[in-house]
Structure 1
């Protein structure tokens, strides 16, 4: 692989009033990338930048983003090495810096709010990259790609997380000038400045089983399509992208002396190249699983109730989108085993039935089989094609009544699902590749391909999904080690206590990372993942996490969703937005906004009245009357907020869901009829303003189907 196709490892940033200049610190002959200020025009020049005021070293260019008043270059200013895969170091983005194109930034409430949203998002988002390894692709896809292509061209578009903000650099590289459409030809010298970044989880460590050392890695890649928060991103969109879609790859690298942090700075390295075990070829064994929201049009609309209102649209409406989704999944992964873990009774039943009806419609002709036991009338429910006459017949639906089967802390019963999937896992195999001696940068020599995938989902694709995925990963890992000769038939990787501890904690950490980015808290049921047992302490922690999720999902996730939409380009700020009204302003009537503050004041007064010391000769009734009045005020405020809950949910303000717009207008109309504050709510102007603002957001941005 030519080093010219790889991103620069060290870039010097030169700043002047007229431009920013980026040039490789190690390659003096490489051209300099210049960004003109304040226009943002790009050019390459061989001469050194002139008039530079400041020189600093950066790890890479994350991208360029246009906000309301200015463009900003986002650079990676600090990284942390995570470990090596096949000798290639992987880094985590630790800190970023925003470089404004205007020399004197114009302050605007919306502009400042956008910047704060993006900065908080980047601080919280776990992002990873490598200068020489395409971590957006699984090892199987890497082995089938063209190594002569630049790294960004080999990246999987689903997991190329900064693809939108790299648009200016990619268009410039492709020869399209900004705004004119004039082509200047391909500029391959731009390739080293384009750095693809992955969002998700990465854990690499050196370990051993039965005295056999190897590198063990767990990689979860989150899709940039339909990304968002728990209740503001559900189901599928028209393009066939589903919410909370993640690909998780479990990797074993045998005969590798550079796993984990080994080899960083010297150990395990020779002349900058990885050393393997002499006489033994480096082997890569990987197993891929996916998760994603149920691919129908459904939503849970927040209204401050603990369980939001569930909406499920007809199957016919989502059929085209679901077909597109599964067509892509089959093209990438082969046969899909669709493991559905939602409840068969209660509020989740509608989602389960919609999923099953969708699969029946997609599969040409199917046979269904239901297994029951004393615990549940539908322990397992499978839908299988009778013959493979079309693409969709590669779907195999498996329903497992997870909650009923594991009720009473009987978590070992989850293995009933494993028994049902064993034949499919054996047929689907796993990826196994051999590295050519002395060629750590070349493609792997393929020995075995994984030809199917297990796609697991529950309602959130978090807690139940994590338990099942770790169970399937443990079974496959044992099989891989037996096939590689590390274990004997009948032995299990779980027999090694030290490795089992590592395995459990890596999968629990993975569960927490995926859950935090979607729901705002760590995953539930991780006590089982970490220890193999469901404990009372774990149940208490789950209760705490559930309460935190309720608070975050109702009162904090709106700005977080706005940050997703800004960073990923789901919401585009138009040039006309510069003189427009404040997009992020609260447009509710003042009296509606004041109710929570009145509630807070009443609680404060109640506390004061309760703990105030009364003089011995003073009458008791004034203090009691004072307390009763503020108690009545607090009760009324609570009742009002709960009755009109949709007005107090912190909705996204850029791409506001249609259900939220309609629900808020209905709640505002209901509040107008309130006998106490109804007369104080302006009738026409505020309601029209509320509606027009929300409709404006939906038209400017990419519509979310709820």
Structure 2
């Protein structure tokens, strides 16, 4: 592949251009601020003497994004080395700068809409785990890279990456279009693909053999988002929280000189095992209502079957045969999702798709986590049939290839899924070590504590990272992954994590979801902030907005009555009765209208899902006000005074609606 530039010096020539000068004698890049044109300069082009040199080192260009006032270049100004894999450095981007093309300050923009959009980008960049390598394709599993090694020669990295995991593909749209249309291969050295995911690599030693054990998870940019605001499938067959996880085992020869040196690529065997996870491929969601357990909504749409078929067939084309492991409960709140999933899988009856249900909570109740072995016994035949990828240094062709995939899901694809995927990975690792002759057929990873600890810690860290990105807290049940034992301390920690998830999912994830939609191109701002005023205005009526302050003030008055010194002997009975009554009324109103107090995403509103009343299943209609079962939109939106006011405001700013984001989805 064509090499990528790894360090740049940035020059700013007044308000005319940004000039990126890579290390070494190579072609610099100019971005014209007035037009947004991207130009690769001819060799030995001099930087204008009027240009100002930035003190920061630039480690990569994340891309270019257009907001309501101007376009912005996003560059990487900080990185940390995550590890070294087969001689390639893998970095995590830690700091970013946002460079406006227009002459305005990105830290103090002249309009609140622009400030809000910039805040979403900064929040997304600071909260994500963005990984990249200048010399290795992190987005593709080892087997795929070997299969396409000949046709990849001479191409730029962005041309060979897996588009599902090319997180900044939308941001690099203009760079890619310019490189393609202008036949500028040199521009490819500036296009740095970023992956949102996890990466860990650890040295290990077992029976005289030095090894490295690595784990990579890759998060799809399609239908990306947060736990409750991205569920199920879309009409193109993309599912929420889709992750590909690759476990890599690198083995050195016995008595290798310098064995254990992680900087060398002197491995005699390279092995890879891949699994995937993804939301149940139906049109479904859980509707937040401020209650701890949200309402379950399963939507029976006409194209449900075709969307599921698209998803499963695409996975077959990508990975081969497929085993679907479903961990959703078979009774209670989750039962309708399980039944709908099984019904559609049976109706499709795809030849290379096998369905396997495992009642996780039923089998493992009372902390009987050893019962996961029941699932492993069922999956042994598939795991041994699908195998894994193995390439030895002395062979021109792989010793074996992975011909199938296990797709695991629970409701969130987090906690139960993490436990099961780690167990499947351990079983396959046992097979690999046995086939290599490192351990005997009667031994397993758990028989070697130091090696087993590396494996457990790596999978537990991986679980926490995925859970934080999607659910807002570390993974539940991670004590079992780390120690092979389910403990009471772990159960208490899970309670704390569950409360954290509740608070984040109800009151903070709306803006997080907006950040995902903005950066991945699921929502594109129109030029002119007046078209996006709905982002900085609250259209709810005054009575709805006033309830949280009323609750806060009532609590303050109650606490004041209990703690402040008294100057009279009169009873406070009526005082407390008044404020407890006001508090109770306000809280009751908020619970009855709970949907109006959830921090919903604004860029791509979920109104059609929240107020869906078509065929399917709805567990309840909490939080939608009195008689909310048949509502198709919030009660307060139907008010004549509100509708008239919004229409007048819309006419004033020249747009049709100001309270809803009705931007179209980008297709690339």
TM-score, with structure 2 as normaliser: 0.90
Please say if 1:287 is aligned against 2:287. Answer: no
**Using the alignment, how far apart are the partners of 1:412 and 1:667 within structure 2?**
40
> Which of residues 176, 183, 202 is equivalent to 1:205?
202
**Using the alignment, how far apart are the partners of 2:324 and 2:658 within structure 1?**
37
Question: Is contact 1:668-1:687 (8 Å) kept?
Answer: no
Please report how far the alpha carbon of residue 698 of structure 1 lies from its aligned counterpart in structure 2 after TM superposition.
5.2
**Using the alignment, how far apart are the partners of 1:703 and 1:311 within structure 2?**
26
Structure 1's 660 and 324: CA in aligned 2 closer, same or farther, altered over 3 A?
closer
**Using the alignment, how far apart are the partners of 2:135 and 2:314 within structure 1?**
27
Please report how far the alpha carbon of residue 102 of structure 1 lies from its aligned counterpart in structure 2 after TM superposition.
1.4
Please say if 1:619 is aligned against 2:569. Answer: yes
**Using the alignment, how far apart are the partners of 2:552 and 2:609 within structure 1?**
26
Task: Indicate the residue corresponding to 2:36 in structure 1.
Answer: 40
Task: Indicate the residue corresponding to 1:541 in structure 2.
Answer: 493
Please report how far the alpha carbon of residue 702 of structure 1 lies from its aligned counterpart in structure 2 after TM superposition.
2.7
Question: Is contact 2:70-2:100 (8 Å) kept?
Answer: yes
Task: Indicate the residue corresponding to 1:599 in structure 2.
Answer: 551
Question: Is contact 2:389-2:402 (8 Å) kept?
Answer: yes
Q: Write the mapping of 1:414-429 to structure 2, written as runs, cut at 5 A.
A: 414-429=372-387
Q: Which moved more, 1:116-125 or 1:43-52?
A: 43-52
Per-residue Cα deviation, 1:280-313 (whole angstroms, up to 9, x for no partner): x532101000000000111111111211111112
Task: Indicate the residue corresponding to 1:123 in structure 2.
Answer: 126
Task: Indicate the residue corresponding to 1:133 in structure 2.
Answer: 136
Structure 1's 580 and 154: CA in aligned 2 closer, same or farther, altered over 3 A?
closer
Structure 1's 24 and 703: CA in aligned 2 closer, same or farther, altered over 3 A?
closer
Task: Indicate the residue corresponding to 1:91 in structure 2.
Answer: 91
Three-state SS of the structure 1 residue aligned to 2:467 is helix
Question: Is contact 2:322-2:404 (8 Å) kept?
Answer: yes
Gaps in structure 2 of 5+ consecutive residues? 614-620, 629-634, 651-655
Q: Which moved more, 1:38-47 or 1:225-234?
A: 38-47
Per-residue Cα deviation, 1:36-60 (whole angstroms, up to 9, x for no partner): 1132111121212212112342110
Three-state SS of the structure 2 residue aligned to 1:284 is strand
> Which of residues 590, 595, 600 is equivalent to 1:646?
595
Please say if 1:510 is aligned against 2:506. Answer: no
Per-residue Cα deviation, 1:424-458 (whole angstroms, up to 9, x for no partner): 00010101113479xxxxxx842211001100000
Please say if 1:168 is aligned against 2:174. Answer: yes
Task: Indicate the residue corresponding to 2:363 in structure 1.
Answer: 405
Question: Is contact 1:215-1:256 (8 Å) kept?
Answer: no
Question: Is contact 1:215-1:252 (8 Å) kept?
Answer: yes
**Using the alignment, how far apart are the partners of 2:637 and 2:483 within structure 1?**
55
Three-state SS of the structure 1 residue aligned to 2:544 is helix
**Using the alignment, how far apart are the partners of 2:561 and 2:472 within structure 1?**
37
Question: Is contact 2:592-2:624 (8 Å) kept?
Answer: no
**Aligned pairs, number:** 633
Gaps in structure 1 of 5+ consecutive residues? 176-184, 364-391, 438-443, 673-678
Three-state SS of the structure 2 residue aligned to 1:498 is helix
Task: Indicate the residue corresponding to 1:245 in structure 2.
Answer: 242
RMSD over aligned CA atoms reads 2.7
Structure 1's 508 and 680: CA in aligned 2 closer, same or farther, altered over 3 A?
closer
Question: Is contact 2:30-2:39 (8 Å) kept?
Answer: yes
Q: Write the mapping of 1:382-531 to structure 2, written as runs, cut at 5 A.
A: 392-435=350-393, 445-531=397-483
Task: Indicate the residue corresponding to 1:64 in structure 2.
Answer: 64
**Using the alignment, how far apart are the partners of 1:424 and 1:36 within structure 2?**
56
Please say if 1:701 is aligned against 2:664. Answer: yes
Task: Indicate the residue corresponding to 1:388 in structure 2.
Answer: none
Please report how far the alpha carbon of residue 144 of structure 1 lies from its aligned counterpart in structure 2 after TM superposition.
1.4
Task: Indicate the residue corresponding to 1:351 in structure 2.
Answer: 337
**Using the alignment, how far apart are the partners of 1:567 and 1:87 within structure 2?**
31
**Using the alignment, how far apart are the partners of 2:39 and 2:659 within structure 1?**
36
Please say if 1:111 is aligned against 2:111. Answer: no
**Using the alignment, how far apart are the partners of 1:689 and 1:553 within structure 2?**
31
Structure 1's 334 and 315: CA in aligned 2 closer, same or farther, altered over 3 A?
farther
Per-residue Cα deviation, 1:614-659 (whole angstroms, up to 9, x for no partner): 24xx2232x3322221111111111110010011011101100124
Structure 1's 289 and 580: CA in aligned 2 closer, same or farther, altered over 3 A?
closer
**Using the alignment, how far apart are the partners of 2:581 and 2:530 within structure 1?**
46
Structure 1's 428 and 275: CA in aligned 2 closer, same or farther, altered over 3 A?
closer
> Which of residues 276, 291, 294 is equivalent to 1:305?
291
Task: Indicate the residue corresponding to 1:54 in structure 2.
Answer: 53
**Using the alignment, how far apart are the partners of 2:143 and 2:644 within structure 1?**
54
Structure 1's 327 and 696: CA in aligned 2 closer, same or farther, altered over 3 A?
farther
Q: Which moved more, 1:489-498 or 1:45-54?
A: 45-54
Structure 1's 498 and 275: CA in aligned 2 closer, same or farther, altered over 3 A?
same
**Using the alignment, how far apart are the partners of 1:694 and 1:658 within structure 2?**
15
Per-residue Cα deviation, 1:497-552 (whole angstroms, up to 9, x for no partner): 11111211111111111111111011111111111111111111111111111111
Please say if 1:150 is aligned against 2:106. Answer: no
**Using the alignment, how far apart are the partners of 2:340 and 2:610 within structure 1?**
25
Task: Indicate the residue corresponding to 2:653 in structure 1.
Answer: none
Task: Indicate the residue corresponding to 1:22 in structure 2.
Answer: 20
Please report how far the alpha carbon of residue 555 of structure 1 lies from its aligned counterpart in structure 2 after TM superposition.
0.7
Q: Write the mapping of 1:544-563 to structure 2, written as runs, cut at 5 A.
A: 544-563=496-515
Question: Is contact 2:200-2:216 (8 Å) kept?
Answer: yes
**Using the alignment, how far apart are the partners of 1:73 and 1:256 within structure 2?**
47
Task: Indicate the residue corresponding to 1:566 in structure 2.
Answer: 518
**Using the alignment, how far apart are the partners of 1:310 and 1:504 within structure 2?**
34
TM-score, with structure 1 as normaliser: 0.85
Question: Is contact 2:523-2:666 (8 Å) kept?
Answer: no
Please report how far the alpha carbon of residue 590 of structure 1 lies from its aligned counterpart in structure 2 after TM superposition.
2.3
Task: Indicate the residue corresponding to 1:374 in structure 2.
Answer: none
Structure 1's 319 and 690: CA in aligned 2 closer, same or farther, altered over 3 A?
farther
**Using the alignment, how far apart are the partners of 2:623 and 2:436 within structure 1?**
63
Please say if 1:13 is aligned against 2:10. Answer: yes
**Using the alignment, how far apart are the partners of 2:529 and 2:394 within structure 1?**
55
Structure 1's 659 and 460: CA in aligned 2 closer, same or farther, altered over 3 A?
same
Question: Is contact 2:111-2:529 (8 Å) kept?
Answer: no
Question: Is contact 2:541-2:636 (8 Å) kept?
Answer: no
Structure 1's 305 and 445: CA in aligned 2 closer, same or farther, altered over 3 A?
same
Three-state SS of the structure 1 residue aligned to 2:378 is helix
Question: Is contact 1:463-1:525 (8 Å) kept?
Answer: yes
Please say if 1:101 is aligned against 2:50. Answer: no
**Using the alignment, how far apart are the partners of 1:302 and 1:399 within structure 2?**
27
**Using the alignment, how far apart are the partners of 1:325 and 1:682 within structure 2?**
38
Please say if 1:233 is aligned against 2:230. Answer: yes
Three-state SS of the structure 2 residue aligned to 1:79 is strand
**Using the alignment, how far apart are the partners of 1:579 and 1:275 within structure 2?**
54
Task: Indicate the residue corresponding to 2:81 in structure 1.
Answer: 81
Task: Indicate the residue corresponding to 2:632 in structure 1.
Answer: none
Structure 1's 411 and 689: CA in aligned 2 closer, same or farther, altered over 3 A?
farther
